[in-house]
Chain A
């Protein structure tokens, strides 16, 4: 009983309950929503967002925000795509380290602009959102990398499975989530990110190297955007200079905030973020299944995000148990 109670008192309980209720509600109208096949569809919608959300969560915990992730995704996917196209000896797996390195470099660029010139992250990354997207056009000469140039082994990561019919790409996403958990909760630097975000003024007095930690979170955000970039090529089989990664930041920031991270810094969990990503995936998969007309889907999607936030913030103050006690 006390275990159950401690689970329900956790901050993430609100969103977990919401996912269950949402799925049951959709399932009562469309029973096929509660099948394993549908779970596979939902999981396949989420890996890129989940990977991006892990980086974004760390950035938001550090009391910053990274709006440039979609453009970093685009550049890093395009660099690997160009290499696949023009360098015949390029092995299929080389795109992974290359895209991650490109993303980390761009993320470090964000961090340097923020720390060197003491600029707000929202302004710097708004600028690099455009700058990095422009880079994608320049390096590709505004040409798409077509399906035929993406190695079939890379595409297979999204289609073939090591176990249970679950594609590799989903294991990669959950692997990133577990590593992020270990890093954030069980390393000294990880804990310093939380300390920095809760009180940026006091952080240096407590011996936290603010500049290094800031550079690190933006480099991680970039590196994970780079990983999402090469996996975009795997999942969709092409890299397009304008579409690849466009609007990625909206989905990722929504998932992180629904997952309970505070825009005021210092607060955020990997579990909450994973649940936030899954809730968005459930909603995205449910809308077409329910036969909601295309004209209304965007509005309903946005409304669901807002409702989720309102419910979550109300529940969060006391946890489910406390709410029940107070109400009943």
Chain B
């Protein structure tokens, strides 16, 4: 008698977010190849409390694995504890509950988030010749990941002599709305006429910043870079508005999560700091401090040469 297939669910931040389509694709393909059942659910809005009923419903349904992109570092503690008490493997995927790690079994992040700020500063530096004024156009003022990266950017600019001639003149917030991001970008250009580069570490912000630069025809004066989706940035890269930007493979997060979950439940992978396991296409993966797992060591850089190879 064959055992029941593993039931895996992934709870996204919100529906209609193209970023999660790619993560879900990784989950789906891995579940197909390993014979698991997969479902994606997400609330309509990216609020912490709106994820709670979805988690409760999945506990009721008797899933084996809950993957979640948490909308809050602490609001989900109680319901995740309930899930763990029922023997469900809880993985935070693409975002962690920093400070409350005991409420999940492991976290799967695309890269070590400590290096994102540093890599983004290097990216914009290489585009502007390591000299001149730069600004940051972020998401909302309270976005935890972006704020962590911004801290990293500030530290890198201060401590690394390589960037001594670059000065960060402003950090502004476009709230991940195209209107607001556009207004903030226009204000940056107006307030800082010598601005050389803009880092927008958010998919909505980088697209809005690129559109402003494109419509003003100032791509040779102001370099826009940051974190973006190839599908949203392709046109801007092809017409030269954006020379290069970065991200990681969201797909691989889903792919790795399923392989890890199946291995842990079947006992072939030990969920302990320092232990290693193999994932097809990704090679040897190590479990780092705090049971944190990364799908790649460095950010992927997209430019005119390689952007057509990515379909997310």
Contacts and interface: CB of A to CB of B under 8 A. Distances in A.
Interface in B1-54: 14-18, 21, 44-45
Contacts of A146: 18, 231-232
Contacts of A41: 183, 186
Interface stretch (B67-75, B104-112, B169-177): B169-177
Contacts of B292: none
Given A142-B15, A242-B16, A294 B235 contact: no
Given A45-B183, A242-B45, 4 more contacts: A238-B232, A242-B15, A288-B188, A294-B173
A294 B187 CA distance: 13
Contact of B187 (A140, A240, A289, A295): A289
A237 B211 contact: yes
9 contacts: A30-B190, A37-B190, A45-B183, A137-B15, A146-B18, A236-B208, A242-B44, A288-B186, A294-B175
A243 interface: yes
A142 B16 contact: yes
A291 B170 contact: yes
Contact of A147 (B173, B190, B232): B232
A288 B231 contact: no
B215 interface: yes
B215 A159 contact: yes
B18 A143 contact: yes
A133 B187 contact: no
Nearest to A289: B187
Interface string B176-204: 01110011101110110000000000000
B211 to A, nearest CB: 7
Tell me the interface secondary structure of chain A in the complex.
helix
A137 B183 contact: no
Interface string A115-142: 0000000000000000001000100101
Contacts of B44: 133, 137, 242
A144 interface: yes
A294 B141 contact: yes
Contacts of A133: 44
Contacts of A159: 215
Interface in A215-256: 235-238, 240-243
A240 B19 CA distance: 12
Interface of A: 30, 32, 37-38, 41, 45, 133, 137, 140, 142-144, 146-148, 159, 235-238, 240-243, 284-285, 287-289, 291, 293-295
Contacts of B188: 288
Nearest to B188: A288
Contacts of B270: none
Contacts of B182: 45
Contacts of B21: 143
A237 B181 CA distance: 14
A288 B16 contact: no
A243 B45 contact: no
B234 interface: yes
Contact of A285 (B16, B18, B186): B186
Tell me the interface secondary structure of chain B in the complex.
helix
Contacts, number: 81
A293 B141 CA distance: 9
Contacts of A45: 179, 182-183
A289 B190 CA distance: 7
Contacts of B235: 147-148
Given A142-B16, A143-B18, A146-B231, A236 B141 contact: no
Contacts of B140: 294
A140 B190 contact: no
A288 B209 CA distance: 14
Contacts of B177: 243
Contacts of B45: 242
A240 B231 contact: no
Interface in B194-247: 207-208, 211, 215, 231-232, 234-235
A45 B179 CA distance: 7
B232 A291 contact: no
A289 B191 contact: yes
A202 to B, nearest CB: 42
Given A137-B44, A143-B18, A291 B191 contact: yes
Instruction: Please indicate which of the listed interface residues B208, B232, B234 has the most CB atoms of chain A within 10 Å of its own CB.
Output: B232
B187 A241 contact: no
Nearest to B231: A146
Nearest to A238: B232
Contacts of A284: 179, 183
A137 B12 CA distance: 15
Given A237-B211, A241-B16, A288 B187 contact: yes
Instruction: Please indicate which of the listed interface residues B170, B186, B191 has the most CB atoms of chain A within 10 Å of its own CB.
Output: B186
Q: Which 6 residue pairs spanning A and B have beta carbons closest together?
A: A294-B173, A288-B187, A241-B16, A242-B16, A142-B15, A144-B18
A108 B18 CA distance: 32
A143 B21 CA distance: 8
A288 B172 CA distance: 8
A137 B178 CA distance: 20
Nearest to A40: B186
A292 to B, nearest CB: 10
Contact of A242 (B14, B141, B211, B234): B14
